Structure 1
Amino acid sequence: MRELSRRQAIIGLGAITLAVAGCGEGETPKKAADMSGNKAGSMAGYGLNQQFKATEPISFDVLYNNHSFYPLKNDWLFWQELTKRTNVTLKPVAVPLSDYEKKRGLLVGSGQAPLIIPKTYHPQEEAFVASGAILPVSDYLDLMPNFKDQVAKWRLEPALDTLRQADGRFYLLPGLHEEIWVDYTLAVRTDIMEKLGLETPKTWDDLYTVLKAMKAEYPDLYPMTDRWGVPTPGGNLLKLVAQAYGAKGGWEYQHATWDPALGKFAYTGAMPQYKQMIEYLHKLVKEKLLDPESFTQQDEQAKQKFNSGKSFVISTNAQSLINDYRPTLSKLNPDAKIAKIPVPLGPVGEYKIGPQTENGIMISKKALENKNFVAMMQFIDWLWYSPEGAEFAKWGVQGTTYTKDGSGTYKLADDIDFVGLNPGAPKHLQKDFGFSNGVFAYGGSTELLNSTFSEEELEFQNVMNARKPWPVEPPHPFNEEEREQVTLWETPLKDYVTQQTLKFILGERDLSEWDAYVKELEGKNMTSYLNLVNTAYERFKKEHG
């Protein structure tokens, strides 16, 4: 087992720490834009931890990711109270969750996007940088005192560096976490484990042993089926297993992965560690421990199999455990028990792998022409980054949806449920009020994050928080010419890696052909792509750190 020392991590990162304000060391300072014509409705004295309230009624369009579990309602208390507190009315442009990325790309590319564009995961914003369709938000951080305060307090400068483009600026306002937050893992039928005398699996090898024992007892079943395979095949499962070997897979897949031993980037889909992930999953499929439909089936199929007792292990997060599995499972089988287990470990050791930044907000270039631009940035700073805004977005209105005692303990109103806090309550915090909405409520302090967790979830978090954080990779932003070139390579490369990964896992291609597969990647410009990545890394390190 090889673990990274703190010194190796620092050397590997090139000791890059750029200033939080929009220009880093070695970067030519940008002349601040004249905001005199964009201050309508803004607060002259807006500062840290201050309630933002526009000096006149204003409104902004916002792209809204419409979640099927809590579909948009115009009469939510969230909208009413937000306007009451801030004098701002948000006008949601609703797009279904299933179509969000595609629709967002079309709107931004055509110049028709709303001013505020949330729910964007890095590096999705990079596709819009060269065209100038979105603003370099790092130029305007002086309008956002709460954002700057969180970055400084939580030492998030290296995380922001990974968002920077070749010009040293970043174009996405990320959600910020005080600490790395791990939520996605596996759910396991603990009653079946107890029946078979099995311990909670701590490693992926332990999980293999558990699945073998389940298969021996229930030979006609696949002990594990999985969800979240559409649109990314094996999205969560590949991510978790790849992490255990030191690679990136599934939802986390990116073409390049930092190799600290080499001091440069390697091509992810050709790394030995990536192959180890494939070998592990192939073994599960070959021995009929993992349902081969796991990588492509719709979520409803996966949930039906698990909830009806046709499988015993499935991907989960905290909300899925409470909303998707327990209610149905308990109706169909009152004796069934289920638990969210700590992410199994692999050869890299006890690391907590995940970012301190979340999906974030792009700002349309049209915003800079808006007379309320300064007010808009102040509003975004309050709602998404102030402690008061985060509490409001998550919990709602004190005395109506929750109470809070002198020790800071939150209690949901008795007639409202959320993540199983009040099972059977007639109302729901998300569905009926619009709070704890993934468009607005993410990031924030660990205390606020933990405030809605059950004792069971807090135990999970305690185990995960005891692990060491995985080092942040160094930035390698492409310049405009490089970005234009790699855009032509990335989709064919990723599609081929995805296609061949599934073939290897499902046994449709023999793993003895791995070297041939790597050569095929070279034929699709893998080496040229990697050369550009490492050139960009060296250039950025030289110019900025």
Structure 2
Amino acid sequence: MVQLSRRQLLAAAGAATVASLAGCDSGDGADSADVNDKKAGSMDGFKVGDQFKATEPLKFSIMMLSNQNYPFKPDWPMLTELTKRTNVSFEPTAVPGSDYNQKVSVVVSAGNAPQIIPKTYHPAEEAFIAGGAILPVSDYVHLMPHFTEKVQRWNLQGNLAAISQQDGKYYLLPGLHEAVWQDYSLGMRTDILEKHGLAVPATWDDLTTTLRGLRKAYPDRYPFSDRWSTQKPGPGANNLLGLLAASYGTYAGWTYQTAYWDGGAGKFVLSGAMEQYKQVVQYLQILVSEKLMDPESFTQTDDAARQKFASGKSFVLSVNAQTVVNEARLDIAKVPGAKVAKIPLPTGPMGATLSGEARLENGIMLGKKALESKNFVAMLQFIDWLWYSDAGLMFSKWGIEGETYTGSLDDGSFKLNPQIKWAGLNPSAPKNLQVDYGYFNGVFAYGGSTKILNSQFSDEEKAFQAEMNKRTTREVGPPHPFSPEEREQAGLWEAAIADHVNQSTLAFILGKRPLSEWDAYVAELKAKGGDKYIDLANKAYDRFKEKK
């Protein structure tokens, strides 16, 4: 059998996706027949560049993540204006961020999910496929002109192929990025580094050296006390592990997936059993054992981590572009001379590279009840406009031209209203774009062109992004789509494996289990179906190769 490279495989899958999209343009075929009686409220001839507006008032049920920093408000001006523009309003189920994933799992599994379920991170959708609780959204993207146009123009077919199942369909509408975007990194008290002559770390090993210097200067405290450890189920499933794993060449924490593509071997391997995973665990175990990192970093709430940072009990924590300004900088505002900066993401054994998977964002699942609606086509057109059109993304991010912002991205004249603040923009303004208006609310504005993305950056963040853009983008691994029967069995194995990986990861890091027991831990993963899962994944991959 001819061995294809990952690039060849993804190109072939992409070509198939393009052909599929093109074949649907006419609106003929079985998929179109499914929706012929579900066009109430939809626009005839809806195309790229059109402003969607339903032909009659519509209301869609939606899951709304409520961020603790800008809690959901049903009377946000954003929602009022959205209804004016689109003739669509929501029946929202608002859920705090800390409970969001669990709530989604419960309502979807019980068949009580809203029609629109945003903020879903692949591969979370796979747990709901076998039971038919969510729709194969790829069957209907021919009704979404902005989505399909961006997929083709930005060459994202291979990325979509990588999240497709054995039936060739994908069940998540992801946010689409024109290019790779790295947001998360570490925030560090640069004034403290300067005071003690410590350099901003360029690598993870450099970070260890810097933390040792901080510990020597402040022996009564942990230099690094981290956050973002309670957003996903399971101890050890945090953001920092995900950042480290990408630097070492595996999956962990927020980015954890059961199977990792080993390009050198040409096969999938068990992520949690990889030597690279052991190295990630060992790295963090050293930080904890030397008291360079707070052992509570993997279980504490965000508020607890922020309080330690604000009080000077720690000097390092995870941040993104928004939180370094909205939270970390505000938290230390009362400390004379205190400064915090988001440093370039430290590099590891993978070098100055970024994962190509970052071109897809969290996305939308459609509950099976969505297809029962006579307004299904209008719903797809609405989603297409709000999440995938440039106009929709500009609206959900920045609001109303002439009211919340002025100017244009095209000629560089764009400017946020000086009376409104967002992240590092207009920090002393009386109004907050997210809290008071509901724009940038964490549900709608994901993905988009580099031009739109850059519009949200301060000069400081632009400098960070310029540094990240120097890095090479790694190719995504090939698909290993399961059949429905395989998916059901794989899901059972995945749940048991992930739970044991997370529990054991935390035990190793905290020293409650010695790393000398690593081989025993790997054997435990195998006993929980690890080898069987990987065999299934590689058989699925081989089957995919043969079809292409």
Corresponding residue of 2:157: 157
Q: Does 1:138 align with 2:141?
A: no
By how many angstroms is 1:11 displaced?
5.7
Corresponding residue of 2:30: 31
The aligned amino acid for 1:489 is W
Corresponding residue of 1:10: 7
Corresponding residue of 1:459: 463
Q: Does 1:297 align with 2:300?
A: yes
8 Å CA contact 1:12, 1:263 repeated in 2: no
Write the deviation string for residues 196-224 of structure 1: whole angstroms up to 9, x where unpaired.
Answer: 22221111111111111111111122111
Give the counterpart of 1:399 among 386, 393, 402.
402
Corresponding residue of 2:343: 341
Q: Does 1:83 align with 2:86?
A: no
8 Å CA contact 1:503, 1:509 repeated in 2: yes
- Distance in 1 separating the partners of 2:259 and 2:373: 38
8 Å CA contact 2:387, 2:445 repeated in 1: yes
- Distance in 1 separating the partners of 2:106 and 2:501: 26
Alignment of 1:281-430 (within 5 A): 281-331=284-334, 333-353=335-355, 354-405=357-408, 407-430=411-434
- Distance in 2 separating the partners of 1:238 and 1:527: 23
Give the counterpart of 1:245 among 245, 248, 257.
248
8 Å CA contact 2:420, 2:429 repeated in 1: yes
Cα separation, partners in 2 of 1:510 and 1:108, compared to 1, 3 Å: closer
8 Å CA contact 1:319, 1:419 repeated in 2: yes
- Distance in 2 separating the partners of 1:535 and 1:234: 28
Give the counterpart of 1:473 among 477, 482, 488.
477
The aligned amino acid for 1:287 is E
- Distance in 1 separating the partners of 2:502 and 2:237: 10
The aligned amino acid for 1:156 is L
The aligned amino acid for 1:157 is Q
534-543 or 376-385, larger mean C-alpha shift:
534-543
8 Å CA contact 1:52, 1:378 repeated in 2: yes
By how many angstroms is 1:91 displaced?
2.2
71-80 or 314-323, larger mean C-alpha shift:
71-80
- Distance in 1 separating the partners of 2:527 and 2:31: 46
Corresponding residue of 2:195: 195
The aligned amino acid for 1:511 is L
The aligned amino acid for 1:221 is R
Corresponding residue of 1:515: 519
Cα separation, partners in 2 of 1:361 and 1:234, compared to 1, 3 Å: closer
Q: Tell me, what secondary structure is at the counterpart of 2:212?
A: helix
Q: Tell me, what secondary structure is at the counterpart of 1:33?
A: helix
By how many angstroms is 1:392 displaced?
0.4
- Distance in 2 separating the partners of 1:14 and 1:46: 29
8 Å CA contact 2:14, 2:156 repeated in 1: no
- Distance in 1 separating the partners of 2:523 and 2:349: 27
By how many angstroms is 1:16 displaced?
3.6
8 Å CA contact 1:39, 1:374 repeated in 2: yes
Write the deviation string for residues 231-251 of structure 1: whole angstroms up to 9, x where unpaired.
Answer: 452611111112111111111
Gaps of 5+ in 2: 23-27
Write the deviation string for residues 115-173 of structure 1: whole angstroms up to 9, x where unpaired.
Answer: 11111111111122122222111111111110011111111011101111110011111
Corresponding residue of 1:236: 239
By how many angstroms is 1:389 displaced?
0.5
Q: Does 1:110 align with 2:110?
A: yes
Cα separation, partners in 2 of 1:287 and 1:234, compared to 1, 3 Å: farther
- Distance in 1 separating the partners of 2:11 and 2:395: 39
Corresponding residue of 2:537: 533
Q: Does 1:64 align with 2:72?
A: no
The aligned amino acid for 1:17 is G
By how many angstroms is 1:93 displaced?
2.0
The aligned amino acid for 1:400 is E
Gaps of 5+ in 1: 1-6
8 Å CA contact 2:130, 2:485 repeated in 1: no
- Distance in 2 separating the partners of 1:486 and 1:408: 50
Corresponding residue of 2:25: none
Write the deviation string for residues 426-484 of structure 1: whole angstroms up to 9, x where unpaired.
Answer: 21111111111111111111111111211111100011111011211111121122122
Q: Tell me, what secondary structure is at the counterpart of 1:93?
A: strand
Write the deviation string for residues 361-380 of structure 1: whole angstroms up to 9, x where unpaired.
Answer: 11122222322111111111
RMSD: 1.9
- Distance in 2 separating the partners of 1:226 and 1:535: 39
8 Å CA contact 2:49, 2:389 repeated in 1: yes
The aligned amino acid for 1:530 is I
By how many angstroms is 1:512 displaced?
1.8
Q: Does 1:491 align with 2:505?
A: no
8 Å CA contact 2:122, 2:362 repeated in 1: yes
By how many angstroms is 1:13 displaced?
5.4
Q: Tell me, what secondary structure is at the counterpart of 2:251?
A: coil
TM-score, with length taken from structure 2: 0.94
The aligned amino acid for 1:154 is W
Corresponding residue of 1:450: 454
Corresponding residue of 1:4: none
By how many angstroms is 1:192 displaced?
1.2
Corresponding residue of 2:98: 98
Q: Tell me, what secondary structure is at the counterpart of 2:186?
A: strand
Cα separation, partners in 2 of 1:30 and 1:205, compared to 1, 3 Å: farther
Q: Does 1:433 align with 2:430?
A: no
TM-score, with length taken from structure 1: 0.94
Q: Tell me, what secondary structure is at the counterpart of 1:469?
A: strand
Corresponding residue of 1:168: 168
Structure 1 vs Structure 2: percent identity of aligned residues?
55
The aligned amino acid for 2:174 is P
8 Å CA contact 1:279, 1:505 repeated in 2: yes
8 Å CA contact 1:14, 1:541 repeated in 2: no
- Distance in 2 separating the partners of 1:168 and 1:156: 15
- Distance in 2 separating the partners of 1:112 and 1:494: 26
- Distance in 1 separating the partners of 2:11 and 2:417: 50
By how many angstroms is 1:20 displaced?
3.1
- Distance in 1 separating the partners of 2:352 and 2:9: 20
- Distance in 1 separating the partners of 2:322 and 2:19: 36
Cα separation, partners in 2 of 1:157 and 1:244, compared to 1, 3 Å: same
381-390 or 9-18, larger mean C-alpha shift:
9-18
By how many angstroms is 1:81 displaced?
1.0
By how many angstroms is 1:109 displaced?
2.4
82-91 or 467-476, larger mean C-alpha shift:
82-91
Write the deviation string for residues 411-431 of structure 1: whole angstroms up to 9, x where unpaired.
Answer: 111211110311222211111
By how many angstroms is 1:73 displaced?
1.6
Q: State how many pairs are aligned.
A: 534
99-108 or 40-49, larger mean C-alpha shift:
99-108
By how many angstroms is 1:531 displaced?
0.6
Q: Tell me, what secondary structure is at the counterpart of 1:355?
A: helix
Q: Tell me, what secondary structure is at the counterpart of 1:201?
A: coil
By how many angstroms is 1:514 displaced?
1.4
Corresponding residue of 1:186: 186
Write the deviation string for residues 261-287 of structure 1: whole angstroms up to 9, x where unpaired.
Answer: 110001011101111111111111121
8 Å CA contact 2:324, 2:342 repeated in 1: yes
- Distance in 1 separating the partners of 2:367 and 2:501: 33
8 Å CA contact 2:121, 2:363 repeated in 1: yes
